[in-house]
Amino acid sequence: MMFCGCAGKVSFVAQPSAVPEKRITKTAVPPVTKPTDVLPIIKPDPWQYCASVIVSGSFPEKVSEIENEELRRRAQITFMIQDQETESSFIAERCMNGKLYICLINGVNNCAEKLDFTTEPNEAMQSYCADEAMEGAILGPLITGINSPYEWRCHEGSAQITAQIAEPDTDGYDKSIWCVIPEPES
């Protein structure tokens, strides 16, 4: 068997994998792990539910499938979601301090995970900054992790924190991306 760029013969015997085969499925929402003690917000009155609990974990919901009409309308207004976009738009809901909070799920917002205040650079950061050409470069969330509250830069071959760019709320989530939705007036 010849491979492009190889000189001579290469023998290759395929071995069965010990790892089970993964099936790829197309999902519109990133997977969110729900702790077993976290229950979804009870419908149809999420405000009443949140008033009765101190805290609940984050869980995703398609905007078009929000059972409470008032919450669906407020989510659309808060995140400027057009009627034709409700089928492809997702929010996360959770309760905190008796109030209802929502977060728009997209490629930038990390609604599912709490902020990670680790101040040691990970392996990807160190590898990236080892390249001299990266001196002074700001490391993006694909390298630092989407839940890092810090701005990281390459400095003298190492990744260093240069600023804190996100603040945690009471539960440790990025408070800048979670919006409280006040209870409708009767």
16 falls within a domain? no
151 falls within a domain? yes
Contact 141, 133 (CB under 8 A): no
- Does residue 152 sit in the same domain as residue 133? yes
- Does residue 176 sit in the same domain as residue 152? no
What is the pLDDT at residue 7? 35
Domain containing 137 equals: 123-164
68, exposed or middle or buried, with CB in 10 Å at 0-12, 13-18, 19+? middle
- Does residue 156 sit in the same domain as residue 134? yes
- Does residue 128 sit in the same domain as residue 80? no
115 falls within a domain? no
19 falls within a domain? no
- Does residue 59 sit in the same domain as residue 100? yes
CA 110 to chain centre: 3
What is the pLDDT at residue 42? 55
Distance CA 121, CA 7 (A): 41
Total domains present in the chain: 2
What is the pLDDT at residue 23? 41
18 falls within a domain? no
Each residue's pLDDT expressed in tens, for the chain with a length of 186 residues: 332 333 333 333 333 334 333 343 333 444 444 444 455 555 668 999 898 887 778 878 999 999 899 999 999 999 999 999 999 999 999 999 999 999 999 877 889 889 999 999 999 999 999 999 999 999 998 899 889 999 999 999 999 999 999 999 999 999 999 999 998 886
CB atoms within 10 A of CB 3: 9
- Does residue 101 sit in the same domain as residue 81? yes
List beta partners, residue 101.
94, 180
Contact 154, 134 (CB under 8 A): yes
- Does residue 127 sit in the same domain as residue 150? yes
150, exposed or middle or buried, with CB in 10 Å at 0-12, 13-18, 19+? buried
- Does residue 51 sit in the same domain as residue 90? yes
175 falls within a domain? yes
- Does residue 55 sit in the same domain as residue 137? no
84 falls within a domain? yes
- Does residue 75 sit in the same domain as residue 90? yes
pTM for the predicted model, two decimal places: 0.69
What is the pLDDT at residue 39? 54
25 falls within a domain? no
- Does residue 56 sit in the same domain as residue 102? yes
